[in-house]
Structure 1
Amino acid sequence: MPNQLIHETSPYLLQHAHNPVDWYPWGEAALQKAKTENKPILVSIGYSACHWCHVMERESFENKQIAGLMNEHLVCIKVDREERPDVDAIYMESLQAMGVRGGWPLNVFLMPDAQPFYGGTYFPPQNWANLVVSIKRAFDENYGKLQESAQGFTQNMLFKESEKYGLQAEEELTFTEEELVTIFNRIRADFDYEKGGMNRAPKFPMPSIWKFLLRYYAVTQDERALQHISLTLDRLCLGGIYDILGGGWTRYSTDEDWKVPHFEKMLYDNGQLVSLYAEAYALTKDHLYKEKVTQTIKWLAREMTSPENGFYSALDADSEGEEGKFYIWSKKEIDYLLAEKSNEFCEAFAISEAGNWEHGNNILHLEERLWAIDNTQWNKLFAQLLAQRETRIRPGLDDKILCSWNGLMLKGLIDAYRYINEPEFLRLALANARFLQEKMTLKVLTEDGKEARGLWHNYKNGKATLIAYLEDYASVIDAYTALYQVTFDEQWLKEAEMLTDYTIANFYDAEDEFFYFTDSEGEQLIARKKEIFDNVIPASNSIMAANLYQLGLILDRQDFVAISKKMLGKMKKLVLTETQWLTNWATLATQMAKPMAEVAIVGKDLQQVRAILDETYAPNKVYIGTQESSDLPLLQNRNAKSTETMIYVCFDKICQLPTADISKALELMK
């Protein structure tokens, strides 16, 4: 018999719907059951592409004896961390407060009032069975002590970020070039100078670190930054962590060589990495980066796009119950498929009978580029292997659609179009933006009766069920603002402004001067958290701070700019000292260290002019444009008056004389 998860839409929850564990989704029914029966709650959190989540399910949650213990002693709740990042954030923080290293599966035990008292990650089956019994015994025999401990962990989460980290803004925010060098030197201390990335394993791509280095180089021309960007981006796309046959990056490398991936592919990684490689191509004109962007977008269109033009969340690491089986090769297979070309291929990729991984299997991984031989020849060999791989049983697809991750991928497509100028990239971007506009946007009325825009967090089977979090607003506003700057279609700018106004009204804590992660209209949990530290995905507050700065300049909304500067001002001390986890904030600092160019383009050829301007990498600018006329503040009294398309370069609303000469405009932008 299925359990209570059978009515859910999340693929992760549905994977557990036929477990003998009497799972409930997070919600009032389960929380009330715990209070009525006075039982401890287990909140078990994971996601569909999580390998160890699958292992624990097979070993423990599908075991009838262990499930019987769980059903007898606990109220069991399953949570998809991607659908409920608010729940995940609270109980992950509580686990870390207990002195336990976080990860997934995340298993936390709560009192009936949902306050946490103990937790961990993966447990082997016998350990898990023993723990369940011990938890119930402690609950029965030491209820008062557990309640006191739980209240302590909860109280720790109620401090505001400013209080917790001693954050105070300077009277007037400044960032100097010398301070940017300080930030760079702090990150540089942990570089892996031989293999790229940071000096640790496992290795995550961490796009915001390398984006900061690109922007830092644009300001300072520090060759050390460019050298490490090039080393890292080369190693990130030469196989192993990158799917050299089908395109797309996997979640992380388990080793320091970028060789052995954790094989799941996540939309959020690929959206950010497409942006990163597109920017790197704009700077270096390195064909390898353009090739990987193009191949990854083809993978996105082929495997990750719904009929309605939403982007799916993830591809699993496992197929046929085995991690990576879809992606790995035996030498025998390679010899059969490539025939007389096999020796050359196996030598290049270090493929052997014994295997370059485990159990005689080989991962396609390169240390060096293959440019010594005609690349067309290699592409033919890749195509042969890809065709064979397509006949295998595929990894599971997590086909839920998340607003925040779609925003990251939409921004990736826009950056790819901006710097590579491939029309298909813009077509995909517009199709996805319209999907977000039509299926994941809700109209709401403000207190004064005006229409505002809100968002949904998730979408599947034709419906959205959860109101959006700050991460959704942050990434979609960023994408819409970027989409305006390549299309000059003002509907996207208006959408971005309306969503920003909604976010300020419903998420902003004026006292703490940061944004809450959850909507004031949303479910009230035991704590209302804020996200300020950048990780594999940048903090939603750092993305919002950058959005407010850009939109404030484009729309002349000084209230937006003021909030942005207050946010960065309060973070400045941490940015200078804890840099590695604040690199998206540091990227915003690069925009404030030098004046931001406001580039207005007026005339019928504005699209072509924008494209030519973007052939030169100069990220510290915003675009505003119209073919004829516009009511936007920076375009007022700037109507098209001749056959020439004119470019106005302004700094802080003070403009140089207009020019039709693109090279002169580029000089003015410096």
Structure 2
Amino acid sequence: MANRLAEATSPYLLQHAGNPVDWWPWCPEAFAEAADRDVPVLLSIGYAACHWCHVMAHESFEDDDTAALMNRHFVNIKVDREERPDVDAVYMTATQAMTGQGGWPMTCFLTPSGEPFHCGTYYPPRPQGGMPSFKQLLAAIVEAWDQRADEVRTAAGKLVASLARHSAALPSSAVDNAVLDGAVASLLGDFDRRNGGFGGAPKFPPSMVLEFLIRHHERTGSVEALSIVEATADAMAGGGIYDQLAGGFARYSVDASWVVPHFEKMLYDNALLLGAYAHLARLTDSPTYRRVAVETAEFLIRDLGTPEGGFASSLDADTDGVEGLTYVWTPAQLTEVLGEEDGAWAATLFRVTPEGTFEHGTSTLQLLEDPDDLERFESVRSRLSAVRANRPQPGRDDKVVAAWNGLAITALAQAGVYFARSEWIEAASRAADLLLTLHLVDSRLRRTSRDGQVGTSAGVLEDYACLAEGLLALHQATGEKRWLDAAVSLLDDALSRFADPDNVGAFFDTAEDAETLVHRPADPSDNASPSGASALASALLTASALVGHERASIYREAAEQAVSRAGLLAARAPRFAGHWLGVAEALAQGPVQVAIVGDSPALLAAAVHKAHGGAVVLAGEPDSSPLLTDRPLVDGQPAAYVCHGYVCDRPVTSVEELVAALS
């Protein structure tokens, strides 16, 4: 049996390289093999930090008898959803259509032409809870294929046709003040007033929705919008979902109160949350939000930074096969590390109880109130961190994903400017250099790399858009025009290669010359990270304020058209349109442009701290960048030029005048 996964750049595929299952990577040869043998394809999709992916692998894919069934009756394909989001999107849509829900591991059975005819998620090794065992499912699929193959193929073809119809672009619909106000009202109705966040368990950090609400508050003064943000940010920062020792957020909370996380830490979550907490700290001057932002930035650089300069995708939920092993504590363990007095104080402060808040009498660490002795608190955290560092550590998926690195670059560049942390901007610059030198192959963006080796998967829309946004943030942070030039190149490629030719303002997630799947994915909804289309709209709007006039008009019009395609989504399901709504708020503001000519740290600091979310702030010498062109010094003094969209104020030379203009 060939080990076809041994040379993969995906840690998830490498985790399965030693299975007795005869795995194939996603490739045309695998489907040709299925056609030659006239057997179905068993498609298994997951990712390296996925707890239940590990469970199913151990229970089924490492079992010789199960593997023998799979090898005899199927061509088995393993896909890393983070490496091939296009494949994941197509079959997740099918899974949700068939079952009403989705998740990972995803288990799909396909015809040799790739059409799905049965989809699900995790299957246990023995029947439980009304769910068949995985072996029972395999037997049923084999029976259906052997006895009713034509019927199965016909049903699969009808499903694919239906999915293609339902994935058509949404009609244009304005995202005006009424929609923005209505989204806030809808979110207020979904808001969990007791625990913060939205809905019940499981509860995910709503980072993009929080950013929208912050921007809405800045524009309108809405007390309700800011109250939702602060209650949610406080609850997450104090909960077990936040790592109270080392910083960084877990993927989600399994309960409604943010106490017990699903322990994996994802790059995209932490990048987006860094941005939200940094913005909130800037708005409120809260020391808690500032601390969380600083600790999250340091977590990104320390724990997810790669030797090549990029950022790794995630830390695993499991350690040595045990979920949360690295992170949880008992009162006795606290006492052993800290002594009786400090141990008891820490147990009270962090809500570590004899009964435990997690499993087997262990507790996650919470911080629901400010410590009464900061020096003692820092001593306790330092000692606990040192001991925890000697525990077994979770695995790290160290592949570099272009889109998620773009999100990290944006957050670190912007937060680095806010907090005057040049080392964060330097970290963002290293990641950008890596992506532009390694991931650009023949002027086309590749999605992933690992250990300095670029992967084969083509970049999707979110890769182009999120990286472009990060480069634009770096241009503003450093004044270096090379970042702007690279962003413009990516945006022009995205507009030409991903646009839907039949629907102005709509975009596909894959390029026009990408691998043909059973249908071309185009999901406009914002989920764990921005949709490719909303990320592109954001980058286009930002770029429109930084480039020359001719291209600015093209970019702004494209951004407006894209936002209009999300109007119905924003009005009907604002929780899944957070990034779109944030872009719409920036459009409603103008967006704001602040061009500072000459060397004035005071003017720059005022602009950075007072400009609304989505604003563009650039400082430099006259004519050093398109935004600074034809904007001279005023009476020989540095000056700030403030514009709202197409309307500009007179230039100002004092901080007081600039603050007034931005207010």
Residue equivalent to 2:378: 379
The aligned counterpart of 1:666 is: 659
Other-structure match for 2:274:
274
Instruction: Verify the 8 A CA contact 2:40 2:75 in the aligned structure 1.
Output: yes
1:628 and 2:622 aligned:
yes
Q: Which residue of 1 aligns with 2:130?
A: none
Aligned residue for 2:190, secondary structure, equals coil
Within 2, Cα distance between the matches of 1:668 and 1:567?
Answer: 29
Task: Report the AA paired with residue 598 of structure 1.
Answer: Q
C-alpha distance 190-137 of structure 1, shift in aligned 2 (>3 A): same
Tell me the equivalent position of 1:447. none
Partners of 1:413 and 1:652 lie apart in 2 by 26
Q: How far is 1:157 from its partner?
A: 2.7
In 2, the alpha carbon distance for the partners of 1:374 and 1:240 equals 21
TM-score between the two structures when normalised by the length of structure 2: 0.95
In the alignment, residue 18 of structure 2 is paired with which amino acid?
H
Gaps of 5+ in 1: 445-453
| Contact 1:599–1:623 under 8 Å retained in 2 | yes
Deviations 1:37-92 (A, max 9, x none): 01000000000000000000111111101111111111100000000101000000
Q: Are the counterparts in 2 of residues 279 and 415 from structure 1 also a CA contact under 8 Å?
A: no
Residue 388 of structure 1 and its aligned partner are, at CA, apart by 0.5
- What residue is the counterpart of 2:357 in the other structure? 356
**CA distance, structure 1, for counterparts of residue 146 and residue 167 of structure 2:** 36
CA contact (8 A) 2:30 2:75 kept: yes
Q: Which residue of the partner structure matches residue 516 of structure 1?
A: 508
CA shift for structure 1 position 637: 2.4
Q: Which residue pairs with 1:448 in the alignment?
A: none
1:619 and 2:619 correspond = no
C-alpha separation in 1, matches of 2:373 and 2:458: 51
Equivalence for 1:404: 403
Give me the whole-angstrom Cα distance separating, in 2, the residues matched to 1:301 and 1:108. 37
Partner Cα separation in structure 2 for residue 327 and residue 253 of structure 1: 14
Correspondences of 1:472-621 after superposition (within 5 Å): 472-513=463-504, 514-555=506-547, 556=549, 557-605=552-600, 608-621=602-615
Report if the CA contact (8 A) 2:611-2:662 is conserved: no
Letter in 1 for 2:140: S
Task: Structure 2: give runs of 5+ residues left out of the alignment.
Answer: 127-132
2 CA distance for matches of 1:586 and 1:477?
19
The 5-angstrom pairing of residues 296-307 of structure 1 reads 296-307=296-307
Q: Which amino acid aligns with 2:621?
A: Q
**For residues 160 and 501 of structure 1, do their structure 2 counterparts lie closer, same or farther at Cα, with a shift above 3 Å needed?**
farther
For 1:91, the equivalent position in structure 2 comes to 91
Percent identity over paired residues: 35
One-letter amino acid of the counterpart of residue 470, structure 2: A
Bigger Cα displacement from structure 2, 297-306 vs 263-272? 297-306
Deviation at 1:160, TM superposition (A): 7.0
What SS does the aligned partner of 2:312 have? coil
Distance apart, 1:517 and its partner CA? 0.7
Change (3 A) 1:643 1:442: farther
- Residue-pair matches, total: 651
* Deviation digits for residues 333-363 of structure 1 (CA, Å, limit 9, x no counterpart): 1111111211111122232333222211121
Q: 2:172 aligns with which of 168, 173, 183?
A: 168
Conserved? CA contact 2:23–2:77, under 8 Å? yes
**Distance (Å, rounded) in 2 between the aligned partners of 1:462 and 1:182:** 47
- Structure 1 residues 652, 382: CA separation in 2 closer, same or farther (over 3 Å shift)? closer
C-alpha displacement at 1:24, in angstroms? 0.7
Q: Quick one: distance in 2 between partners of 1:59 and 1:620?
A: 48
Structure 1's 520 and 394: CA in aligned 2 closer, same or farther, altered over 3 A? same
Q: TM-score, normalised by structure 1?
A: 0.94
Q: Deviations over 1:641-665 (max 9, x none)?
A: 7552111122344432222112212
Does residue 1:461 correspond to 2:451, yes or no?
yes
**Does the 8 Å CA contact 2:607/2:617 hold for their aligned counterparts?**
no
SS of 2:5 mapped into structure 1: helix
* Counterpart Cα distance in 2 of 1:375 and 1:156: 60
Tell whether 2:390 aligns with 1:391. Answer: yes
| Kept after mapping to 1: 8 A contact 2:204/2:251 | yes
Deviations 1:191-221 (A, max 9, x none): 0011100121100002111111101111111
The equivalent residue for 2:137 is 131
**How far apart, CA to CA, are the structure 2 residues paired with 1:351 and 1:621?**
43
Asked whether the 8 Å contact 1:319–1:395 carries over to 2, the reply is yes
Q: How does 1:284-295 map to 2 (within 5 A)?
A: 284-295=284-295
Which residue of structure 2 aligns with residue 647 of structure 1? 640
- 1:285–1:617 distance in 2 versus 1, CA, 3 Å: farther
| Residue number in structure 2 paired with 1:241 | 241
Q: Which residue of 1 aligns with 2:129?
A: none
Tell me which amino acid in the other structure corresponds to 1:635: L
Q: CA deviation at 1:418?
A: 2.6
Report the Cα offset of residue 161 of structure 1: 4.7
Give the AA of the match of 1:476: L
Contact 2:542–2:614 (Cα < 8 Å) also in 1 = no
Asked whether the 8 Å contact 1:603–1:643 carries over to 2, the reply is no
Tell whether the 8 Å contact from 1:600 to 1:624 is kept in structure 2 after alignment. Answer: yes
Distance 1:156 1:325, change over 3 A: same
Letter of the 1:275 partner, please give it.
G
C-alpha distance in 2, partners of 1:18/1:41?
20
